[in-house]
Amino acid sequence: MARVRTGVRAMGAVLAVVLGASLAGCSSTGGKRAEERAAAQAAGGRAAVNTPRWTFAMVTHSGDGDTFWDIVQSGAEQAAAKDNITFLYSHHDEAQQQAQLVQTAIDRRVDGLIVTLAKPDAMKDVVAKAVKAGIPVVTVNSGSEQSEDFGALAHIGQDEAVAGEAVGEELNKRGRKKALCVLHEQGNVGHEQRCDGARKTFDGELANLYVEGTNMPEVQSSIEAKLQADPSIDSVITLGAPFAATAVKAKEQAGSEAEIDTFDLNAEVARSLKDGALGFAVDQQPYLQGYEAVDLLWLHRYNADVLGGGRPVLTGPQIITEKDAAALQEYTKRGTR
């Protein structure tokens, strides 16, 4: 994803355009995919409820070009259509710019806010501003440990440490002895928790490999170099579905026998599981994260409902293997798993 490098004044103009375009149902980039989704929603009939036309904003730390966030956004959009919600979506991979997008949503006086806390220190103050302004906040995907302290109603996602522990246990079942955990976004606390969790339960040796996730050729060459340098590595764990295929290519180029495993599920991962190119995937159900976040905000506005009682509402982890892949392919093809 290209990174925005502009001055404060220019950034303010960009943010205004971003959320202005979102009122028409577009993503922060106003891309064709978002326009097609909006048209599909309009063709899908009336909302299922007759509540006021509230406006909810979702601001994430990643977005277009990442199949995981496409699925999160799809779930949120479909819940918004059902709940008679005007849905605004924006994202930025730099934490300070994500915080500015949240501030723009606050300035627009949205009725509900959904945010990710991949880098919680950068988001703490602006989330507090939203709460102080009376805007209900739900956190999704990352930041489960900080969500309640920041004043959010609930966190929806998987416990990243628990998900990592499930990976370590699965590696043990498969008889693996030496694993490489590939972190593609430095500073993302959830990614660190995944690798730390796997290390906690894995009986073998696990090392972290930090790569620049916006540069896939560099990701491939880094993994390839590690596998060539250490043939005893028998498992590579990627932390996002788009990186699994790259790891498979690196393995092939290195002539390695390592098994490639991954967090997250998409159509390509399901195919690769079925074909045996991947060993297993950890599914955290991104569609559910987007859908339930919007639904929970609607329920709170309509009926003062909350979920979780201060604990995360878990959508994962679920270990997906070759035997599960065929049944899930139908859903991955339509973009909901």
Calculate mean pLDDT across residues 91-102.
Answer: 96
Q: Could you tell me the pTM of the whole model?
A: 0.81
DSSP strand pairing (318-320 vs 281-283): antiparallel
Q: At residue 299, does pLDDT exceed 60?
A: yes
Calculate mean pLDDT across residues 28-52.
Answer: 57
Q: Which CATH architecture has domain 160-283+322-333?
A: 3-Layer(aba) Sandwich (3.40)
Distance CA 327, CA 178 (A): 31
pLDDT band per the 50, 70, 90 thresholds, residue 282: very high
Coil, strand, or helix at residue 45?
Answer: coil
Nearest to 137 by CA among 148, 145, 290: 148
- DSSP conformational letter for 46: S
Per-residue pLDDT tens digits for 98-120: 999 999 999 999 999 999 999 99
Residue 34 has what pLDDT? 45
The reply to whether omega before 217 is within 30° of 0 (cis) is no
Domain boundaries, the chain: 8-158+285-306, 160-283+322-333
Q: At residue 231, does pLDDT exceed 50?
A: yes
Residue 326 has what pLDDT? 87
Calculate mean pLDDT across residues 153-182.
Answer: 97
Strand (E) positions, the chain? 55-60, 86-91, 112-115, 137-140, 154-157, 178-183, 205-210, 235-238, 259-263, 281-283, 313-314, 318-320
Contacts (Cβ under 8 Å, ≥6 apart) of 298: 49, 51, 54, 56, 79, 83, 85, 112
Containing 243, the helix (H) or strand (E) segment is helix 241-254
Lowest mean pLDDT of 62-71, 77-86, 166-175, 214-223, name the range.
Answer: 62-71
Q: Which CATH superfamily is domain 8-158+285-306 in?
A: Response regulator (3.40.50.2300)
